[in-house]
Structure 1
Amino acid sequence: MPYVRSRKFCCCLPVRFGVFCESILGIAVGGFFSVAAWLQINKFLHGQLKDLSQSDKIALWAVAATMTFAVVTSLLGLIGAIGRVRALVAIYASVLTGVTVLDIVGGIYFIYQLFHGYGDDQIQKCQAQADQGAPGTVDAEHWACSAGFKTGRIIVVVVYVIWWLIEIYGCVIAFEYVGQLREEEDASFSDREKNQSQNITIVTQPAAAFSQPQPYAFAAAPHSYGPEFKQEPL
């Protein structure tokens, strides 16, 4: 196989290794979140989670579906990285991009609900429970409810942003490896064509000898009417 320069990420790591690692990471992380989401869905389908709003149920279904799909495509990417199969890696890169976009949209929706829906409800429940406690500790507990949820929401936003950046960079690595595999296939095809043309030239060389003109048989001395020929007198 002809040599093709290996593309890198993070300055020194080959992109094939990157696709291999992010595929395993996608299987692990996607499997964890998909299992957790499906377990929650199973609970509210059996009536164990009655306090979930319709938006929370939609978010759970979206997370479960996208994470399950991510596990399947990560498995394809892992097989493609091990076997150097460009079609599988291309499918993985394309689906990874789509999952990343859906994940960003779903994360934005979840953060919006966290700041304007679910979070406010939880703060009100926490403050209502604080009102039932000792009178001297109500203000401190109110502050703990508000400050705790604000800090938690900020942490969630930071984690989401970091995860989105990792996903976007993973898409770049996957497409870089697709480009490298395309270069390897093109180089291999060109090398094959070169070898075939050389073989054709070697085979056709003996046939060239038959195309050269042959000497006329009657031009030889025994068959010619030269000076040695003497005509008998009549």
Structure 2
Amino acid sequence: MSRHFCFCIPVRAGVFLFSLLSFALSTLCAGLGWILFHLIETNQLSKIEDKMTQSDKEAFENAVHKYKWAVILGSIIFTFVALISFFGFVGSIVRNRRMVKAYSFMTVISFLLTSFAAGFVLYATYSHKPFCVTIDGKETCTNNNLSVGEKIGVTVGIVIQWLIQLYIVTIIRRYYRQLEDEREYRHDFRLNPTGAGTYEAKEGLLAPQAAAYPYADAQHSFGSHA
């Protein structure tokens, strides 16, 4: 039986859409990360510094050279997410349980990491401690100057985003459970798939036909000859 979300949309369609968007966005981020890494390695950062002031250029170049490992790590992570999202996309099309399971596991890990990041943002929003970064022995600090209304807006936005991500994880898990139930159903009743969402039994599910009642034959009936 097909499961749904938002009252009427099949969870399979949700996985198809979410995996496609995840694949597109993560591929874009991974591509930008690898391009930035190439520019760092070939000393061509000037190609993306046209609209920066001289001080901003120096700060940007110092930061990306010092934290080049973060650029590499981020590019690898987004590449991995793009790959798993592609598995989920293909899995939703061909109804492959293992591909959808891998995509579901990745979304759970991503949700946990995002929740940790959201908690850190909320802490930084309500904390009055300055955030400092040291580059080449020079410390730069930024202070939290948000008003009460801005803090509430940030909090509401983070909570809404967290709930949406949780709902997406639930939808993907629900579709994976649907594929699991279908696999168990086919195994229990020895069914073969004959089409998208349809199955054909190797043996009938109804009780075998009972033997004919002997006294129902004409020769055993009395009728008008009684």
TM-score bracket relative to the smaller structure: 0.5 to 0.7
Paired residues of 1:73 and 1:96 also in contact (CA < 8 A): no
Distance 1:74 1:155, change over 3 A: farther
CA distance in 2: counterparts of 1:18 and 1:76, whole angstroms: 15
Q: Which has the larger radius of gyration?
A: 1
CA distance in 1: counterparts of 2:124 and 2:65, whole angstroms: 12
Does residue 75 (structure 1) correspond to residue 90 (structure 2)? The answer is no
Does residue 8 (structure 1) correspond to residue 4 (structure 2)? The answer is yes
TM-score (normalised: structure 1)? 0.57
Question: What whole-Å deviation, never above 9, does each CA across 1:45-103 have from its counterpart, x for those lacking one?
Answer: 33435220688545433432222111101110011110111111111101221233334
Of residues 64-73 and 45-54 in structure 1, the stretch that sits farther from structure 2 once superposed is 45-54
1:185 matched to which residue of 2? 183
CA distance in 1: counterparts of 2:28 and 2:153, whole angstroms: 20
Q: Tell me by how many angstroms 1:195 deviates.
A: 4.5
1:51 alignment partner, SS class = helix
1:117 alignment partner, SS class = strand
Identity over aligned pairs, percent: 26
Distance 1:97 1:177, change over 3 A: same
Greater fraction helix: 1
Does residue 36 (structure 1) correspond to residue 32 (structure 2)? The answer is yes
Distance 1:22 1:172, change over 3 A: same
2:42 matched to which residue of 1? 46
Paired residues of 1:8 and 1:14 also in contact (CA < 8 A): yes
Q: Tell me by how many angstroms 1:171 deviates.
A: 1.7
2:23 matched to which residue of 1? 27
Letter in 2 for 1:20: F
Question: What whole-Å deviation, never above 9, does each CA across 1:164-188 have from its counterpart, x for those lacking one?
Answer: 4433322211110011111112222
CA distance in 2: counterparts of 1:44 and 1:110, whole angstroms: 29
The unaligned stretches of length 5 or more in structure 1 are 125-145, 203-234
Letter in 1 for 2:182: E
Paired residues of 2:15 and 2:89 also in contact (CA < 8 A): yes
1:170 matched to which residue of 2? 168
1:6 alignment partner, SS class = coil
CA distance in 2: counterparts of 1:108 and 1:56, whole angstroms: 23
The unaligned stretches of length 5 or more in structure 2 are 46-59, 134-138, 192-200, 210-226
Letter in 1 for 2:132: G
The alignment of Structure 1 onto Structure 2 pairs a total of residues equal to 173
TM-score (normalised: structure 2)? 0.58
Greater fraction strand: 2
